[in-house]
Amino acid sequence: MLQGVFIIFLFQLIGEMVQKYFALTVPGPVIGLVLLLLMLLLLDKRGAAVKARFEQGLATTSATLLGHLPLLFVPIGVGVVMHISVLEGHLLAVLAVIFLGTVASIGFSALLMQKLQGMGKRHG
């Protein structure tokens, strides 16, 4: 698991460095995640032994992190409760944004899934 944590933090660090060096508006962890994805895709083309060792550490670490994911929502809940008076004044606007954001996310996910399934059928 320690190897997986190191890999995740390494790619986050690389992403932060790229973001700072090129003064990009995309957050460093997102850049690091994309770089990690590219690394996994490149390993898929190379060797199975290297890929298996690389993925084993990541799989264990990611499963553990996903098990504790709800803890990350605690600060958000505290922030909402602390600023409930501000939200009360703009309740309709907040609800509209939540609704439209949810509908847009579901729609985008559905379109992306259709495209990916179409690509999968053509390639295999």
Q: What is the pLDDT of residues 24-34, one digit of tens each?
A: 999 999 999 99
Whole-number Å distance between alpha carbons of 34 and 20: 16
What confidence score (pLDDT) does residue 80 get? 81
Burial class (CB in 10 A: 0-12, 13-18, 19+), 21: exposed
Average pLDDT, the chain: 87
Q: What is the mean pLDDT of residues 34-62?
A: 81
124 pLDDT more than 70 = no
**Structure confidence at residue 105 (pLDDT):** 96
In the block, residue with structure tokens 């803890």: 71
C-alpha to C-alpha distance for 109 and 87, rounded to whole angstroms: 28
Mean pLDDT of 44-60: 76
Query: So what's the pLDDT on residue 46?
Result: 66
More confident residue, 115 or 57: 115
- The span from the CA of 6 to the CA of 64, in Å, is 14
| Residue 35, pLDDT score | 95
Predicted confidence (pLDDT) per residue in 1-23, tens digit: 788 899 999 999 999 999 999 99
- Name the residue type at position 34: V
Question: How does pLDDT run across 80-104, given as a tens digit for each residue?
Answer: 888 888 888 888 998 999 999 999 9
